[in-house]
Amino acid sequence: MPSSAHETPIELVRLDPSLPDWVQTLLGDDTPAFDQARLYDPNVRPRTYQADAMVLLCGPDGRPVRAVVFEVQRGRDPEKLASWKLYVGHLEREFAIKASLVVFFPDPAVAAWYGRQIEQDTASGAQLRPRFGTPSDVPAIVDEEVAAAWPARMLLSAMCHLTDADVDVMFPALLAALVTLEPDAKIFYHNVTVARLTEAARARWEEFLMTTAVGKRYYDDMLNEVDARAEARGEARGEARGEARSVLLVLESRGVSVPAALRERILATADAGQLDLWLRHAATATTVEDVVQD
């Protein structure tokens, strides 16, 4: 089942497609240079298998020079070995380039299990040579300039070190990364980093923000953005409830009886389009069932 531990690293690849290449270099590969990185459709056909992320690393002319399949694996699934071979083979056949496989494991024990599976996979004609990464392979980034230039790297680093006793040393760099993001991304990555700190560490984070002008602005912007979203949701709920009352008022004025269960259903509906349709039906319906029919 997808989870933040699985989905968030993949979202970071969408934020910065060069991230898998960086992880690969952390794992010891001397990877050739490239000029740009772009995502590639992760679906492998004719029967559809979908990789978590496929990245094409391109030269100055935009043509792919190599590729990376990036997977986040949380559990044990022997069938994944065959899928990974398929992903790599598809890219190499499609673009006539070399493709590498980088798998990130939030749990080192799962990485060790897959390592044993690959060692035992001696009968297959296609041998896997992936790079496995775990949180311990990702360094704690503390350089603010690096964090601002490569926010996806900083955010992955932060997620790998949230429980470190000295996590506070990363606070300036984490702030430098977060302030570069658009509001939607800022709230999302705040929730998967800062919000997952221990209560004591989160309190220290807020104290840190108040010691810098950038931190105070960030804190105020976050609160204002959250408040604005809550207000917008409240206004939408208020408008929907008002339209739901209009539906009931029209039915009441026409003498149409509304049982308690259907009254609650109408009042609980937040879909403005649905309520508008029900309001039109209410003007001519002879029973409330005629109003709320599918």
Sequence ranges of the domains in the chain: 1-137, 141-211, 235-292
In whole angstroms, what is the distance from residue 294 CA to residue 281 CA? 12
Residue of 244, 249, 287, 285 whose CA lies nearest to 268: 244
Q: Which residues contact 100 (CB under 8 A, 6 or more apart)?
A: 24, 29, 31, 66, 67, 68, 69, 88, 130, 131
Band (98; pLDDT cuts 50, 70, 90): very high
Band (259; pLDDT cuts 50, 70, 90): confident
- Angle subtended by helix axes 199-209 and 171-178, to nearest 10: 70
pLDDT at 49 over 80: no
**Coil, strand, or helix at residue 293?**
coil
pLDDT at 236: 53
Name the DSSP class of 165. Answer: T
Rounded to the nearest integer, the mean pLDDT of the chain is 85
Q: Which residues of 14-42 are buried (b: 16+ CB within 10 A; e: fewer)?
A: ebbbbbbbbbbeebeeeeeebeebeebeb
DSSP 3-state helix, strand, coil percentages of the chain (rounded to 5)? 60, 10, 30
The pair of structure tokens assigned to 122 is: 């001696």
**From 162-176, 191-205, 271-285, the region with the lowest mean pLDDT:** 271-285
Query: What pairs with residue 70 in β-bridges?
Result: 53, 102
- Contact status, residue 241 vs residue 233, Cβ threshold 8 Å: no
DSSP H or E stretch at residue 37: strand 36-40
Q: Over the stretch 172-221, which tens digit does the pLDDT of each residue have?
A: 999 999 989 888 788 788 888 888 889 899 899 988 988 888 878 887 67
pLDDT at 3: 56
**Coil, strand, or helix at residue 215?**
helix
Band (2; pLDDT cuts 50, 70, 90): very low
May I ask the CATH class of domain 1-137? alpha beta
DSSP H or E stretch at residue 43: strand 43-44
In whole angstroms, what is the distance from residue 289 CA to residue 281 CA? 10
The pair of structure tokens assigned to 65 is: 């020079």
The pair of structure tokens assigned to 237 is: 């709920």
pLDDT at 109: 96
pLDDT at 223: 59
pLDDT at 282 over 70: yes
Q: Give the global pTM.
A: 0.70
pLDDT at 1: 41
pLDDT at 276: 75
Q: How many CA atoms lie within 13 A of 47 on its CB side?
A: 2
Band (144; pLDDT cuts 50, 70, 90): very high
pLDDT at 46: 53
Q: Over the stretch 222-250, which tens digit does the pLDDT of each residue have?
A: 656 654 454 445 555 656 676 777 788 77
pLDDT at 132 over 90: yes
Band (13; pLDDT cuts 50, 70, 90): very high
Band (48; pLDDT cuts 50, 70, 90): low
| Better pLDDT: 31 or 58 | 58
In whole angstroms, what is the distance from residue 218 CA to residue 215 CA? 5
Phi, psi of 136 (to 5 degrees): -70, -20
